[in-house]
Amino acid sequence: MSDQNKKLKKSVHATISDESLRVIQKYEKEFGSKSAVVDEALKVLRTYKEPHDSTIKDIWSRAREELNMVLVGKTTFLSYLKGDLQEVFKNNIALEVIEWYVGKRKDEMNLEEFLNGLIGMWQVANYFYNIEIEKNTDGVFQIKFNHDLTKEYSEYWANYFKNLLNNNWKCQIESFIRNESFYLIIREK
């Protein structure tokens, strides 16, 4: 350690529990020293206790987790304000969002990549707490979307995704609606 860094550091003596010591020892090699582990832990604590000092990304992550906030695109938001749900279906930017998430244009993706992008982005946006996808031997996809809202929420999103897929892929889509979940069965034509 340089003389400059030694001058910036302060010595602190603390008595900690055996459990805390085990945690410090577990991460000591990764961070280089016990004090580096404590420094990093204090940064995380400060971020938690003082969110206003965090980056926008950190604040969004906390809001998503702790306040159950959702990410809404401007086009969708403005359509909701007008009360025009059909406009949300017509003028959404879901394709662009999926392309951004996957890192490819639609014409560079296959259906499975597109579906995985849809799943990833909608989980990131916090509309669903769990999404599971299966592909059977015939190439048929079954996607289960879990949420903690109403049957109307299931119906809305099932129709939204049907519209999105019909506009971008040649698919046959069936939906099965439940109160806190729905299924999409997707067959590529």
Instruction: List pLDDT tens digits, range 128-180.
Output: 989 999 999 998 999 999 999 999 999 999 999 998 999 888 899 999 999 99
Residue 132: its pLDDT value, please? Answer: 95
Sorting pLDDT into bands at 50, 70 and 90, what band is 51?
low
Neighbours of 62 (CB within 10 A): 15
Sorting pLDDT into bands at 50, 70 and 90, what band is 52?
low
Q: Are residues 111 and 55 in the same domain?
A: no
pLDDT score of 1 more than 70: no
Q: Are residues 165 and 78 in the same domain?
A: yes
- How many independent structural domains does the chain possess? 2
> What's the predicted TM-score (pTM) here?
0.66
User: Mean pLDDT across the stretch 8-25?
Assistant: 88
Query: Which domain does 167 fall in, by range?
Result: 74-188
Q: Are residues 92 and 144 in the same domain?
A: yes
Q: Are residues 120 and 166 in the same domain?
A: yes
Q: Are residues 158 and 115 in the same domain?
A: yes
Q: Are residues 107 and 29 in the same domain?
A: no
User: Mean pLDDT across the stretch 55-68?
Assistant: 73
Instruction: Find the largest Cα–Cα distance for the chain.
Output: 69
Q: Are residues 164 and 85 in the same domain?
A: yes
Bridge-based pairing of strands 141-146 and 181-188 is antiparallel
Could you tell me if residue 7 is inside a domain? no
Rounded to the nearest integer, the mean pLDDT of the chain is 85
Could you tell me if residue 132 is inside a domain? yes
Q: Are residues 131 and 181 in the same domain?
A: yes
Residue 175: its pLDDT value, please? Answer: 95
Q: Are residues 169 and 108 in the same domain?
A: yes
Residue 31: its pLDDT value, please? Answer: 92
Residue 108: its pLDDT value, please? Answer: 94
Length of the chain: 189
Name the CA dihedral angle for 143, 120, 27, 45, rounded to a multiple of 10 degrees.
-120
Nearest to 115 by CA among 106, 126, 127: 106
